[in-house]
Structures are given as structure tokens and as C-alpha cells.
A = this chain, B = another copy of it.
Amino acid sequence: MKIKEIVTEILSKKKENGGVKQLYFVGCGGSLGALYPAKIFMEKESSNIKTGWFNSNEFVHSTPKDFGENSIIVLACHKGDTPETVKAAQLGKEKGAAVIILTWLEKSPIVEHGDYIIKYNFGDDKDVAGEKTMCALLIAVEVLNMVEGYENYDKFMDGVSRIDLIVNKAAKHVEKRALAFANEYKNDSVIYTMGSGSAYGAAYMESICIFMEMQWINSSSIHSGEFFHGPFEITDANIPFVVQISEGSTRPLDERALKFLKTYAKRIEVIDAKELGLSTIDPSVVDYFNHSLFNNVYPVYNKALAIEREHPLSTRRYMWKVEY
């Protein structure tokens, strides 16, 4: 079933009981980060549908009181076996919510708890338009369009048709600078990421999944609007920052942070969505595509960094190895 058909069926089924009033996005770590743009989309574009973006374990232990028959819950779970996310899916079934699961494997423990299973694209040669972030966004776009109407629907779909080519070109474009980045930062013990808008999700993922998890480098993802209200005091000539410059409405926030860093820091890696070709997407919808661009350009840097540091991205000391 395609996403549009799934949403059509859910709305049809929910119609008699008052319709869809909540659209919740739930996951853990990178899977949660990947849902961030969809949450931002609903927060900004919808007038009447409540949204929320929750870590699975917090959602299970501290569930919104309205979660139930008028809710859609969208869960992301890569291999379908994250216990907290499986529990959140079970809770969705118990409460009568429509449960949509975004996952990579056909078969897994979570699958039986979903009303709808969407198998997303993943891996080096994937079509970015079918990635989990885009799947979650498309669910949000279809729900909004069918419930309230979405004036930029066609422009959004045009953006979807463009994102894969933009990403592929961008990934090639940064190859050389990724090698230089890896060489420059290979011995650092702290690297910050920075971003705004829907792309903050990509900054979060790079910080927790790559620097902390896969490279054991201390990190934090700083919101570029928050930077000037605390975090910027750690700025000096030695601390490295990876700065995302989004295209769209929050670009001035990122540019302001970059301007400061260019004056007071020395070690800055800039990833600029405009330079990387995102501006061919219509300004009315471009905000929501920044995350997918950054999140798919980072792997070029990450692979180079892992080689330079002789620390493969698959190395773990706790995950899959000890109980927790």
C-alpha cells in the first residue's frame, strides 16, 4: 500500500469516531531523529492536529492522555527489534490508535503490532525519496492535506521528486573536503554539531549516532538559535563545530551563528544547503528537505573520519554486547 492509500484508509476508518486529532512520532535515537522533520512540519503547517515527538520509552511511561482512537502513531524502528519501540507499538494497538511502522526489514518482532508497515529505503544506493525521514514527512503531508488541506502539496511532491538527485550530487561535491575534515579532526575529543529548523534532527543524529556512538567522540547538537544564549561561551580557537546552513526560513539563524564562529573560532566545517543545490526546491517547502540533504551528506564525512581514525563505524563496546 502506498502512503496516500494508507492515510486515506485510516481517515475513512476513523471518520465515524471523530476523525484524526493527534499525529505522534515515536522512536529511539537515530530513528527518533529521522522523524524530527515530520514533527516540525505538523507544528508549523497544521492548525488542528496535535503533534508530538517522543522517545519510545518516555512515550510508554508517560503517555499523552489523549492517545487513543483519534490518534495516528508513526514509529520508526530500523531492524524492528528495539524493545521500547515494540512496546510503544503494542500500546498503540491497545489504545485503538492507527499504528504505522517505518522499518527496514520485512520480518521482525515489531511487525505484528503495526496496522500498516512501510518498508523504507536504506543504504548507499537508496532512492532518498523513499527514506524513513521522507516516509514520515509524506504521512504528515497526506494527513494534513486530507484533513485541513495543504496549499503547497504539489510543490512538496515536486521537492520529493528532486531530492535524490540533489543528494547524490551533493555527496560527490563534498568528497574532497570530507577527506580534509577527517585529517583535521581525527584527534579531537569533542566535536559539536549545529543546526536549526527541521534540520536540527540531522545535527542531533550526527552528534549522538556518529560522533558519540560510532566514534566515541564527545559531542552535543546545538540549536543555532540557542547558541547565543549559553553554548557560545565555550567557543575558542580549538573547539570544532560542524555547522549546517539550512536553506529556507531559519537560514538567518544559522548564518548568524556562522558569522560569530568565523570571528571567534578557527575550526569550522560548513555544510551549506544552498551551495549543495537545495535551492531548486520551491521556497514554500524547502525547509523540510534540509534534514534529508545533511543527513545524507554526513556519511561521506563519517566514512572518511572512520578510516582516518582507524575506528570503523561498526565498532561498539556496549550495544549488542552487554545487557542494558
A residues apposed to B, CB below 8 Å: 21, 28-32, 43-48, 50-52, 55-58, 61-66, 82, 84, 189-190, 196-197, 207-209, 212-214, 216-221, 223, 225-226, 228-235, 239, 248-250, 252-253, 256, 259-260, 264, 287, 316-319, 322, 324
Name 23 A/B residue pairs within 8 A (Cβ), A-sorted: A21-B47, A28-B228, A32-B229, A44-B65, A45-B65, A47-B65, A48-B50, A48-B66, A58-B250, A61-B249, A84-B225, A212-B230, A213-B230, A213-B231, A213-B232, A216-B233, A216-B234, A218-B218, A218-B234, A228-B324, A232-B318, A233-B317, A259-B324
Query: What residue in chain B is nearest A223 (Cβ atoms)?
Result: B55
CA distance A207 to B212 in the complex (A): 17
Contacting residues, chain B, for A220 (C-beta < 8 A): 207, 218-221
Instruction: Name the residue among A61, A248, A322 with the largest chain B CB count within 10 angstroms.
Output: A61
Give min CB distance, A84 to chain B, whole Å.
7
**Given A214-B233, A256-B324, A324-B256, CB of A29 within 8 Å of CB of B318:** no
**Which one of B45, B207, B213, B223 lies within 8 Å of A58 (CB-CB)?**
B223
A209 neighbours in B (Cβ, 8 Å): 230
Chain B residues with Cβ under 8 A from A316's Cβ? 233
Question: What residue in chain B is nearest A64 (Cβ atoms)?
Answer: B44
* Contact between A233 and B55, CB atoms less than 8 A apart: no
A-side interface mostly: mixed
CB pair B30–A230 under 8 Å, yes or no, is yes
CB <8 Å contact, A225 and B44:
no
> What residues of B have a CB within 8 angstroms of the CB of A248 in the complex?
62
In the complex the two chains form, what is the Cα distance from A178 to B317 in whole Å?
Answer: 32
A196 to B58, CA, bound (A): 8
How far is it, in angstroms, between the C-alpha of A157 and the C-alpha of B48 when the chains are bound?
30
Give the docked Cα–Cα distance between A249 and B59 (Å). 10
Of the candidates B61, B229, B264, the one whose C-beta lies within 8 Å of that of A252 is B61
Determine whether the beta carbon of B264 is less than 8 Å from that of A318: yes
Contacts of A218 in B (CB 8 A): 190, 218, 220, 234, 239
CA distance A239 to B248 in the complex (A): 38
Give A225 to B56 CA distance when docked, in angstroms. 8
The answer to whether A226 and B66 touch (CB under 8 A), given A190-B218, A208-B231, A216-B234, is: no
**In contact, A234 and B212 (Cβ under 8 angstroms):** yes
Whether B208 lies near A29 (C-beta < 8 A) is no
Identify the closest chain B residue to A249 (Cβ): B62
Q: What 7 A-B pairs have minimum CB-CB distances, sorted nearest first?
A: A29-B229, A220-B220, A208-B230, A55-B225, A47-B66, A57-B225, A213-B230
Once bound together, how far apart are the Cα atoms of A28 and B45, in whole Å?
23
B318 touches A235 (CB 8 A): yes
Question: Among the interface residues A31, A32, A62, A196, which one has the most CB atoms of the partner chain B within 10 A?
Answer: A62
Contact indicator B226/A28 (Cβ below 8 Å)? yes
**Distance of A47 Cα from B66 Cα, bound (Å):** 5
